[in-house]
Amino acid sequence: MEKHRQTLNLKLLQNAAAALRKNNFAAEVYESGPAAAAALLALAGRGKKIGVGGSMTVAALGLPEALAAAGNEIITHKPGMSPEEKRAVWLAALASDIYLASPQAVTLDGKLIFIDGNGNRGAAVIYGPRKTVLIAGVNKIAKDEEEGLWRSRNVAAIANNIRLEKDNPCVAAGRCVDCAGKSRICNAVTLLWKKPSASDILVMLVNEDLGY
């Protein structure tokens, strides 16, 4: 049964990739996380400035460590940074050679959905870095924009609230309640219908569950 599920998931990813290409994104499908990571490392080479958003997908693939070991400079915020330190890092990431992130949803009609608390990732995926690489596991596939937004709010956001130990109402409710608390992490939606004209974006779709 698992083999059959893998085959079905691969077809879903191929369909999503075809739709993304129609929307002017570059898109590739990979059988596994390690295959996608190897392709990314080959693409990056060495000597690059690489911005990294707070992506569990990127972290799960071990990309920050592997890219640093290959001789690249990793630009990312870290726990304990002051607001001004974070701001400096986020602005530097906007000018990176490659920016790595993961959307909360990829729709079967070729749209990309991001929901953020601060908006630094949303800013980066719209414009700034010389190249943006977005990595998404098959668990991020959604039928359409409505389902993608539902997934972003009711699956990805709640899992991230738990990870970040945020005491927001969605954690207790098990669903988005559209709260207004200061610790809310869902303040800005970035919806890419098509590739922004001045940006170079590659979407790497992986036939594994990755991140939230």
Give per-residue pLDDT as tens, 34-65: 999 999 999 999 999 999 988 999 999 999 99
Residues of the chain above pLDDT 90, percent: 89
pLDDT for 147 equals 97
The edge-to-edge listing of strands for the beta sheet with 49-52 is 26-30, 201-206, 131-137, 98-101, 49-52, 73-75
- Domain 2-206 -> CATH class: alpha beta
pLDDT of 1 over the 60 cut: no
Domain spans in the chain, listed from the N-terminal domain onward: 2-206
Q: What does DSSP assign to residue 82?
A: -
pLDDT for 164 equals 87
